[in-house]
Amino acid sequence: ALRATFAPKAQKENQNLTRNVQPQASYKVAVLGAAGGIGQPLALLIKMSPLVSDLHLYDIANVKGVAADISHCNTPSKVLDFTGASELANCLKGVDVVVIPAGVPRKPGMTRDDLFNINAGIVRDLVTAVADNCPGAFIHVISNPVNSTVPIAAEILKQKGVYDPKKLFGVTTLDVVRANTFVAQKKNLRLIDVDVPVVGGHAGITILPLLSKTRPSANFTDEEIEALTVRIQNAGTEVVEAKAGAGSATLSMAYAAARFVESSLRALDGDADVYECSFVQSDLTDLPFFASRVKIGRKGVEALIPTDLQGLSEYEQKALEALKPELKASIEKGIAFAQKQT
Ligand code: NAD
Ligand code: LMR
């Protein structure tokens, strides 16, 4: 959980809020697409992290005001704004974690793959700049379609000779956040206790919640499994339809991305107990990329967690086989796009 830096305790004791929250470490984080629907609340949440010393906000427009606004929060990190391609290199130099929510979101009736034509080029260009300016950084890709944009990022990094598969992450945390919320509601569990691994990818049936691996263990009827699985898979569309043309999930996504950033920073800071689900290069299945729980350490992915994929229910095993052709095609589409660029 995010360690909120405006704890009521500090207020009661009438302390200067910043005195209580000296940074325990000093990591630099860049958000690319920081003026967007996700970027703005994400930047605010990252500003609350005591692990961050520098927050670099980049967009092609409108980021000056966002940075000025957020910079007035009396939390330790220094906020700088960067506008347009000419300022991207300076934004990225020395950065430890780069988060990429740049790109267009869905409107009702669209699939995530419908975003490919615009977002593929955006991710290609941003990752090229990451390769040139902070090749050792953790890269968190949020831009959709994640099933293709992560393979694009990998190919670009390979072309630049700086690909470290341990440091490239597709952000699927929102799927876990949703699964935890929906399962806790359905089974009347304490939200804070619930953890459901979600594997596969991040679109439609490629999103596979492993309800049989829910912790604490819970029993589901077949109807509950079907309803929960479909709801988790369609939760993005649920938000797209509710927003009725005004975009897709931004606030819950910012929350989820901030959790993933915080986990990465804790790992960089030496916490040996950091586990998250993420879409990464993987040998857990026959697909080259696959979302699963991973252990994150100072150097990135320390281990993939294979146990979640063992002893699956019949429903999950079937769903796993069913998702593979779609996920494979999306991965190959991304790789082909990136290879065409050379
Ligand atoms: P948005 O349109 O509100 O914001 C996108 C921002 O990206 C804008 O500020 C825009 O100026 C900026 N941008 C465009 N091109 C850029 C470039 N070349 N360099 C830097 N910035 C650029 O969209 P949003 O709601 O914030 O969503 C962003 C992306 O995140 C979409 O592709 C969406 O599908 C995806 N998304 C992913 C998840 C996930 O779980 N991974 C969840 C929600 C949304
Ligand atoms: C989500 O899951 O909310 C995102 O991938 C955005 C979308 O298009 O659904």
Question: 248 CB under 6 A from ligand 1?
Answer: yes
Residue 178 backbone phi and psi in degrees, to 5 = -65, -45
From the CA of 280, how far away is ligand 2's center (Å)?
A: 18
Cis peptide before 216 (omega within 30 of 0): yes
Closest to 43 in 3D by CA, of 79, 72, 86 = 79
Read off the pLDDT of residues 96-136 as tens digits, 9 standing for 90 and up. Answer: 999 999 999 999 999 999 999 999 999 999 999 999 999 99
From the CA of 47, how far away is ligand 1's center (Å)?
A: 19
From the CA of 258, how far away is ligand 1's center (Å)?
A: 15
| Burial class for 179, CB neighbours closer than 10 Å (0-12, 13-18, 19+) | buried
Residue minimizing CA distance to atom 2 of ligand 2: 236
Please tell me the predicted confidence (pLDDT) of residue 24.
62
Count Cβ atoms below 10 Å from residue 12 Cβ, excluding itself: 8
From the CA of 145, how far away is ligand 1's center (Å)?
A: 11
pTM of the model: 0.95
Residue minimizing CA distance to atom 7 of ligand 1: 102
Owner of token pair 């699939």? 111
Q: Which atom of ligand 2 is nearest to the CA of 106?
A: 8
Mutate to test the pocket of ligand 2, among 241, 248, 279 (most ligand atoms within 8 A of CB): 248
Read off the pLDDT of residues 205-241 as tens digits, 9 standing for 90 and up. Answer: 999 999 999 999 999 999 999 999 999 999 999 999 9
Question: 63 CB under 6 A from ligand 1?
Answer: no
Contact 153, 139 (CB under 8 A): yes
Respond yes or no on whether ipTM tops 0.90. yes
From the CA of 300, how far away is ligand 1's center (Å)?
A: 24
Is 202 an annotated catalytic residue? yes
Spatial separation of the C-alpha atoms in residues 210 and 313, rounded to whole Å:
9
Residue minimizing CA distance to atom 1 of ligand 1: 36
Q: Which atom of ligand 1 is nearest to the CA of 249?
A: 43
DSSP label at residue 137: S
| Burial class for 174, CB neighbours closer than 10 Å (0-12, 13-18, 19+) | buried
CA 328 to chain centre: 20
Question: 151 CB under 6 A from ligand 1?
Answer: no
Owner of token pair 């929060």? 73
Per the rule left: phi > 0, alpha: psi between -120 and 50, beta: everything else, 269 is alpha
| pLDDT means over runs of 10, the chain (342 residues) | 41 44 76 99 98 98 98 97 98 99 98 98 98 98 99 98 99 98 97 97 98 96 98 98 98 98 97 98 98 98 96 98 98 98 78
Please tell me the predicted confidence (pLDDT) of residue 22.
52
DSSP label at residue 84: S
Q: Which atom of ligand 1 is nearest to the CA of 122?
A: 18
Residue minimizing CA distance to atom 33 of ligand 1: 105
Look up residue 309 and give its two tokens. 């994929």
Would you say the C-alpha torsion 153, 154, 155, 159 has a positive or negative sign?
Answer: positive
Count Cβ atoms below 10 Å from residue 22 Cβ, excluding itself: 8
Contact 274, 267 (CB under 8 A): yes
